[in-house]
Each structure stands twice: as structure tokens, then as C-alpha cells.
A and B are shown apart, each in its own frame.
Chain A
């Protein structure tokens, strides 16, 4: 399978704190990968290192075959990597409409599969709130806006950090349904979330991190069949 993201030997620091210790992480075209681990194990730092938002001191990040290790985060995003950050990343001064206008652009190969119409079809609640300020939306609506904004960049890979954190159960279900639908379109997804059961059912491959190292990287179906691994590394 063609690797869209291929990170090798990432060592990332926050000041003097050594957070990632030689992390390898790969995402293939159309693949759905979950990144699991207890709090503080380096999941978000791994995502930020892939996206160039927190620069790895050592290691390499290759996106669609190009070395993007020292690239600006905007250049990495332009390679078709869309990020839905923890906390949703809504701009306080912009309306829903403005968020979507800002994001809309063709993908790296000129594709325009995701249009405003299609995004608003997926998220009809956003269509009703186009003129609302992003920060006047509910948590679920903000997450929909964040995902919609990411889709409008026509990405090859969608990276979701804490996709359903802090959302009501019904809203969480809606978000998971949308992620399933996105998976079905062939967009590769990387998901960080605490809902292990859903992640194992939804994803093709699971990666478990402990103290900044990858301790498991294999098919989600195998991990589901071996609860001992989850018990050992995540405590479930």
C-alpha cells in the first residue's frame, strides 16, 4: 500500500523534556489508523510532529514520497494532510460561513470532491447556522465545523485528535457515523480517541504508545482478539 505519511525515528522534545523516543508511524492510502495510549504517552505530540506543528529534533517525516521533515506546517497541510485538533481549533472571530470559505480549496492533485454543498449535506446543522460565530456553536457543532473545514481542503489524510472528547453520547454517535462515511470515501484517517471499542471496530490498524514509544503496531482485528495487550498497555 502506498504510504501517504511515513515517519521514521521521531525524537521530539518540549524544551528539555524528551517526549518521543524514536517513533515510527506510517499511514497508507485509504487506511484508517488509531493511535491509542494513556494520557501523556505522546499521542498528540506524535500527530503534531507529523504535521510540523512541533518539530522533531531527530527522525524524518515523508509525505507522499517527499521529505517534509523541515517543512512549514502549511506546506505539509498542502500535501493533503488535514488536521482536526484537540479542542476543535475554531476561530473565535469568524462565522461558520467564513470558516468554510477560508478552508475551501482543491486537494494536492487538483481534486475537488469535497465542496461546500457536500459538506453541508453531511452536516445539515451547519447549514442552519452559517452566520453564527464559530464560538456560538455547541461542542458537537464545533466538531462538525472543524471536520467540515478539514474536508473542504480535499485531503488524502484526515487527522483527528480527540475526535469525540467532551461530547454528549448522541453527538458522539453522529461524529462516529460521519467518520465511517469519510472512511468509506477512501480518505485515510488517523484517529486519537478514548473510545477504544469504537476505534477497534472502525480502524484497520492500531498503534499503542507508552512513554513516547510505539509498543504495538498491528491490525485492529488482532488487537481486538487479544485483550491482554490492551490490558497491559492501556489498562482496559
Chain B
């Protein structure tokens, strides 16, 4: 249903906020990295290019989890299972020693992940709170152990994807995913596409109902919407986006193993979402970059990096209730506007 005219936002030109400009600037810095990376980091450019590509994939995974946790109020500890499933799908659907056809393997991957999410979601979304966490954790671990013990998937060693998928039309190669810079831009486009898709979804009546469910599902029921149906759709969408991220990750590293599905991985992505700012989407991207960059920087300096990183995360979560996105928004908002910005504490009225 399209919102009526008085409810659609004004189409008159409005200057973007400083925060939006900051996000655009950060996106531009990222987008142009392949152009200036070699000059800035001679000798390490290839490593950073690969690292940034991996972080963008994690950012997609974090956004997909933010849809569930930050918007729909479904805290899942099994989300990484869909990420892993996406990766395994590429490995298993494609030929072993030739390039998989992206046009067939990607839809098959998304279909398989969507189907798995439909079944798991239908069984999980009737629960809430701690029970939802436990049931998604159980499903996630179930997938982990199935793939860990399955010969067809290489067991605990995982399996290899020797050639990156081919993107061809009538035998004509459209893009070469084997090229690191091309792959960087494909992943960048996928990340931005995921962000725009989720923004549009959240601007729709479906998104408003989902936000309402995250705040108070019983109240939404009273307005005439069945929260279970909406939660299931969101769960499947989130899982398919996680599957897409898993597909890209498998394509990047040429390797999948069961750790992609582990609850540790789900927990790490949850930390990214919370650190970045729940329910904002761009917070999930910021959280992924912040956590991975902190990880890399601290790990390079001390073998006790987990202790330092854990302490930093605790301090950040305690001092930044709205995450890094909230902090940046506050720092860039003119003082007069702060009182009326639309990021109130979530909770019941």
C-alpha cells in the first residue's frame, strides 16, 4: 500500500544533514580506495583492499542482522548459519574446477537460504525474548554440526572454490570477479544496494509495522497486524541477505568451512550491530568497520588483543547507548537540532 500524499515526505529540496554528508564522505573515501590505496599504503595495498572487501561483506551481514535485531526485535544467535549456508551453496552448486555461473548459482543460493529460513523462521518466530535467542542458537549450531560432520561438505576442513564465479552474458564476460579491484567494486555495490534496499523496505508500511513489532508486538496486534507473519517475512529477507554475504565471502576467499556458521560468528556480528547503533542500518556498517579495524590494529600490537578489544567494546557499549552512529550524529548535529532529532530511546511509552 502506498502512503497517501500528506504522509509522503516533502519532495522539496532539503539540504542533507551534516551527518548524512559525513556518511557520504566516508562512503566516498571507501569507494575511491583502489585509486589512492597504493600511494597511501605502498606494499600493503593489496592486503588492505582484500581486508576492506571482507569488511564490506561483514557489513552486509551486520545490516541483515540489524533488520532482525534492531528493527524487528528478534535477537538471533543463529544468523551466521545463513551466511555459511550461502557460502556452502556456492561451493556445492558450482562445478568443482570451473567457474560457477553467477546467474544460476546466486538465485539457487538465495532460494536455498530463503527456504531454510522459512522453515527455521516458522518454528522460531512464535517464541520471543530469551526463547528466540535459544532456538536460533540451537538451529545455528545444528547447521554447524551437520556441515562439520558431512563428507559432502568437506567436514571440519571445509571445501574449496577454486575459481570465482563467472558473470557472463552469451559467453561475454561482463565483469572479472577474479580481479581484486573489480571484486571490491562488486562488493561495494552489493553493500550499498543492500543498504538502499533495506532503507526502502523500512520506509514502506511493512517497515513501519516491523518497527512497531520491535517496540511492542501486542500493540501491533491490536492495530490489526499479525506480528508472526511480518516477523517471518523479515526473518527470510534477513537470512537471504546474509546468504548473499556468505556467497560473496566464499567467492572472495575461495574457501568455506563450518566456522562461518558458528555461534561465535553470530555473536561477533551482533556486537558489530550493537556497537554501530541498533536499528539504523548505517550503524551496522560503521560497527563492522570499527570492530574489524580495531581488531586488526590491536592484534598487530599485542598477543592479548582479545582482552584489550573486549575491554574497549565494554567501554563503548556503556558510554555510547546509541552506538557509533549515535555519537557521530550527535557530534555533527547543530546543538539546536539535537532535541528534535528522531532517535529517541526505544521502549514502550
Q: A171 contacts the other chain (Cβ, under 8 Å)? A: no
Please report the C-alpha to C-alpha distance between residue A11 and residue B221 in the assembled complex, in whole angstroms.
22
CB distance from B303 to the nearest CB of A (A): 42
Please report the C-alpha to C-alpha distance between residue A58 and residue B20 in the assembled complex, in whole angstroms.
56
> Which of B136-144, B250-258, B339-347 lies at the interface?
B339-347
Q: A49 contacts the other chain (Cβ, under 8 Å)? A: no
Interface centre among A83, A87, A102, A149 (most CB of B within 10 A): A102
Q: B218 contacts the other chain (Cβ, under 8 Å)? A: yes
By the criterion CB–CB under 8 Å, are A104 and B219 in contact? Answer: no
How many B residues are at the interface, by size bracket? Answer: 20 to 34
Interface residues in A, total, Cβ within 8 A: 44
Interface residue from A97, A105, A135, A153 paired with B344 (Cβ < 8 Å)? A135
CB distance from B71 to the nearest CB of A (A): 9
Q: B321 contacts the other chain (Cβ, under 8 Å)? A: no
Given A116-B6, A117-B5, A133-B344, A72–B221 Cβ distance below 8 Å? yes
Q: Which of A159-217 contact B (CB under 8 A)?
A: none
By the criterion CB–CB under 8 Å, are B223 and A88 in contact? Answer: no
B-chain residues with CB within 8 Å of residue A77 when the two chains form the complex: 221-224
By the criterion CB–CB under 8 Å, are B219 and A132 in contact? Answer: no
Please report the C-alpha to C-alpha distance between residue A101 and residue B208 in the assembled complex, in whole angstroms.
7
Q: A91 contacts the other chain (Cβ, under 8 Å)? A: yes
Q: Which of A59-113 contact B (CB under 8 A)?
A: 72-75, 77-78, 82-83, 85, 87-95, 97-105
Please report the C-alpha to C-alpha distance between residue A154 and residue B220 in the assembled complex, in whole angstroms.
16
Q: A42 contacts the other chain (Cβ, under 8 Å)? A: no
B-chain residues with CB within 8 Å of residue A230 when the two chains form the complex: none
Given A73-B221, A127-B6, A92–B205 Cβ distance below 8 Å? no
Q: B279 contacts the other chain (Cβ, under 8 Å)? A: yes
Given A90-B349, A116-B6, A104–B1 Cβ distance below 8 Å? yes
Please report the C-alpha to C-alpha distance between residue A99 and residue B225 in the assembled complex, in whole angstroms.
13
By the criterion CB–CB under 8 Å, are B219 and A89 in contact? Answer: yes
Given A101-B205, A102-B205, A116-B6, A93–B222 Cβ distance below 8 Å? no
Please report the C-alpha to C-alpha distance between residue A102 and residue B345 in the assembled complex, in whole angstroms.
20
B-chain residues with CB within 8 Å of residue A223 when the two chains form the complex: none
By the criterion CB–CB under 8 Å, are B344 and A92 in contact? Answer: yes
By the criterion CB–CB under 8 Å, are B344 and A136 in contact? Answer: yes
By the criterion CB–CB under 8 Å, are B7 and A100 in contact? Answer: yes
Q: B327 contacts the other chain (Cβ, under 8 Å)? A: no
Q: B164 contacts the other chain (Cβ, under 8 Å)? A: no
By the criterion CB–CB under 8 Å, are A91 and B212 in contact? Answer: yes
Given A91-B215, A149-B223, A105–B347 Cβ distance below 8 Å? no
By the criterion CB–CB under 8 Å, are B4 and A115 in contact? Answer: yes
Interface residue from A82, A85, A92, A149 paired with B346 (Cβ < 8 Å)? A92
Q: A102-B208, A103-B223, A104-B3 are in contact. List 19 more A-B contacts (CB 8 A).
A: A51-B222, A72-B221, A74-B226, A74-B227, A85-B222, A89-B222, A91-B212, A91-B215, A92-B347, A98-B211, A102-B211, A102-B223, A104-B1, A104-B7, A116-B7, A117-B4, A117-B6, A133-B342, A135-B349
What is A's interface to B at a CB cutoff of 8 Å?
A: 51, 53, 72-75, 77-78, 82-83, 85, 87-95, 97-105, 115-117, 120, 127, 130-136, 142, 149, 153
The 14 listed contacts between A and B (C-beta, < 8 Å) are A53-B218, A53-B222, A73-B222, A74-B224, A77-B221, A77-B222, A77-B224, A92-B347, A93-B211, A93-B215, A101-B3, A101-B205, A102-B208, A136-B340
